[in-house]
Amino acid sequence: MTHESPLEALLSTRLAADASAPHLTLETDSSSDDLALAIAQAADDRKGGDIVLLKVADVSYLADYFVLVTGFSHVQVRAIANSIEQTVKEKLQRVPVRIEGQAEGNWVLIDYGDVIAHIFLEKDREFYNLEAFWGHAERLSFAALQSASPSAKG
């Protein structure tokens, strides 16, 4: 029995969707910015580590942003994912297109279409190394964004 990684599942779903909707485009706009920041803040509220926003809009059709977060246990990874889902629903009235990996809690992928959150256990984040894979994307540290803008905290 083979298991698809959450990223493989996302890619296969997106490729199938592209075949049926060839005119689909994703443009970065303020709603994507707001969503990425809300996701990062929700992860920070649950003590997620090393929160990074990758602005992939210029280098990929998959999304405008990836938000990468480290959780330090299976329970924390799931708690961060739940916090993101609840916060985004309450603040922005959005629900995910799909969620992958929540039962396992090693790598949870929450796909909002324009923003995709990746919550990893530390060893899985190191193994898959999305920061290197998407190294040509603009990298934004959530900690740096918070210190630069007091409004990012709340």
What are 85-106's pLDDT values in tens digits? Answer: 999 999 999 999 999 999 999 9
Domain range summary for the chain, segments of one domain joined by +: 6-11+26-153
Token pair, residue 110, equals: 């929450």
Q: Looking at the domain 6-11+26-153, which fold is it?
A: Beta Polymerase; domain 2 (3.30.460)
Give this prediction's pTM: 0.78
Find the radius of gyration of the CA atoms of the chain: 15
Rounded to 5 degrees, what are φ and ψ at 144? -65, -40
pLDDT in tens, the chain (154 residues): 455 666 565 555 554 544 443 333 334 456 999 999 999 999 999 999 999 999 999 898 889 999 999 999 999 999 999 999 999 999 999 999 999 999 999 999 999 999 999 999 999 999 999 999 998 999 988 887 777 665 544 4
| CA atoms lying within 13 Å on the CB side of residue 57 | 16
Distance of CA 63 to the CA centre of its chain: 10
Token pair, residue 115, equals: 């923003």
